[in-house]
Amino acid sequence: MPVTRIVVNFEDAPSYDVRVGPGAIDGLGSRVVKCIPSATAALVVTDTNVAPLYAATVRESLKAAGLRTVEIAVPAGEASKSIAVLSEVWSAMVAQKLDRDCVVVALGGGVVGDLAGFAAATYMRGVHLVQVPTTLLAMVDSSVGGKTGIDLDAGKNLVGAFKQPAYVCADTTTLATLDEREWTCGCAEVAKSSVIGSDDFFFWLCENASALAQRLDGVVSEAITRSVVFKADVVAADPHERGGLRAGLNYGHTLGHAIEKLAGFGTYSHGAAVAEGMRFAARLGAAVAGTPIDLVDEQDALLDALGLPALDFSADEEAVLEAMRSDKKNRSGDIRFVLPEDVGTWRLEAVDDATLREHLGAWRRSKE
Ligand SMILES: NC(=O)c1ccc[n+]([C@@H]2O[C@H](COP(=O)([O-])OP(=O)(O)OC[C@H]3O[C@@H](n4cnc5c(N)ncnc54)[C@H](O)[C@@H]3O)[C@@H](O)[C@H]2O)c1
C-alpha cells in the first residue's frame, strides 16, 4: 500500500509534508535531513510505552542519516505535560549540548507531541520540530497544525505556543500496538472532522465505519489521509486560531470537556466524551441551528459503528453549566457551541443559559 503525501501550505510560513501509510517511518532520517539541511543532531522525545516499541527504529534511521541522536523517554500519560517534565526535557537538551541546529523528534501520542513541540518552540528561542505520531488521535489531529503546550494545575493546555513541524511522519503500522480505548479515542476525532468537514468525507466514513473500527489497512490510511487533508485546510486558513475557522475543530468538545471533568478525568476517554458531546450538539443544533434530524440519526449510527456508544452518564444541569463555563474557551458571556447546520457546514453559536438548561435537562432525562 503506498504512502500518501499531503502538503500543509501557509501563505506566510514554510509548507511541510505529512506522509501517511504503512512504512512511512522507513527513511525518516533522510527525509529529516532533506527538510532541515542544517540539522546536525536530533533529540527523540518519546514516552515509556512507545520507547521500547519504536524508538530504536527511529534512532537508527536518524543516525544513518548522519545526525547525532539522543533520546529522552518521559513517563507515559497526561501528567507529563507539566512544567516539571518540560524542565527535564530542556535540561537534557542543555546536558547534550544541543544547539539551534538540532531537531526535536516527537515520537508518540498527543502528550509527547505537545510537550516536545513546546520544548522545540522554546529551547534557545526555537529549534526544528518533526512529529512522528503513534496514536490515531495524534495522526489525525494533534501532530498537524502546530499547537503545542503543557498543562497547569489550573487547567489543561494553559501554556503553549504555535510551532509548526518541518515534517510529519504517520506510519500506520505503529497503530497495531494501540489498545482499543486509544483507538476509539482517535475514531471520535475522525468522526468529528467528517461531520464538520464535508459530505464526501462524512458519507465515505459512514460506509467504512465498521472497517475502520476493525482497523482494516486501506481504510485506516484513507481515514487518516482525509482527516489530515481536512485539518491542513483549516490550519492553512487560520494558522493562529484568529479567524474563528479553527473553532470548528471543537465540535463536540464543549459538553465533552465538561463530561471528562464531572466524571473525573480518565473515567471516560477523551474520545468517548467528545462523541457524547457531538450527539448533544447535533440535538441542540436541531433546535437552534436547523441541523437536519437525518444528520442527528446518521451521526448516532456512525458513532455506534465506530465503537463510541452513547454514554451512560449524565449530571445535574447546573453542574454541567458550571463545568462548561470553567473551560478557557467559555470564560465570559454565553457558552459557545459548534453546531452543524448540515454536513460540512457549521456555526459557532452563543447559547443562553435558559436554552441550555432545557436541553441539558432533556439530555439528563434521556439517561434515566
Ligand atoms: N496539539 C493539538 O492540536 C492537540 C489536539 C488534540 C489533542 N491534543 C493533546 O493530545 C493529548 C492526547 O493525545 P493521545 O490521545 O495521543 O494520548 P497519549 O499521548 O497519552 O497516548 C495515549 C496512550 O497510548 C500510548 N501509546 C502511544 N502510541 C502507542 C502505540 N503506537 N502503541 C501502544 N501504545 C501507544 C501512550 O504511551 C499513552 O499511554 C492531550 O494532551 C491533548 O491535549 C493536542
Q: How far is the CA of 353 from the centre of ligand 1 (A)?
A: 33
Q: Which of 270, 279, 283, 359 is catalytic?
A: 270
In this structure, are residues 105 and 132 in contact, taking their beta carbons and an 8 Å threshold? yes
Neighbour tally for 91: CB within 10 Å: 11
Q: Which of 31, 128, 222, 250 is catalytic?
A: 250
Q: Check if 246 is active-site.
A: yes
pLDDT of residue 158: 94
Three-state SS annotation for 262-330 = HHCCCCCCHHHHHHHHHHHHHHHHHHHCCCCHHHHHHHHHHHHHCCCCCCCCCCCHHHHHHHHHCCHHH
CA angle at 186 for the pair 303 and 5, rounded to the nearest 5°: 120
Cell of 262: 464531572
166-208 confidence digits (pLDDT tens):
999 999 999 999 999 999 999 999 999 999 999 999 999 999 9
d(CA 228, CA 6): 8
**Buried b or exposed e, range 155-175, using 16+ CB within 10 angstroms:** ebeebbebbbbbbbbbbbebb
pLDDT of residue 242: 80
Query: Which domains does the chain possess?
Result: 4-177 (3.40.50.1970), 180-214+242-365 (1.20.1090.10)
Q: Check if 253 is active-site.
A: yes
Would the pLDDT of 330 be above 90?
no
Q: Check if 257 is active-site.
A: yes
Helix (H) or strand (E) holding 106: strand 102-108
Q: Lowest-pLDDT range, 101-110, 167-176, 234-243? A: 234-243
What's the pLDDT band for 241 if we cut at 50, 70, 90?
confident
Would the pLDDT of 329 be above 80?
no
Q: Check if 97 is active-site.
A: no
Would the pLDDT of 334 be above 90?
no
Say if ligand 1 is within 6 A of residue 182 CB.
yes
138-173 confidence digits (pLDDT tens):
999 999 999 999 999 988 899 999 999 999 999 999
Whether this prediction's pTM lies above 0.85 is answered by yes
pLDDT of residue 332: 66
pLDDT of residue 154: 87
pLDDT of residue 331: 59
Q: Which of 19, 31, 147, 192 is catalytic?
A: 147
pLDDT of residue 96: 98
Taking CA atoms only, the protein residue closest to ligand 1 atom 2 is 142
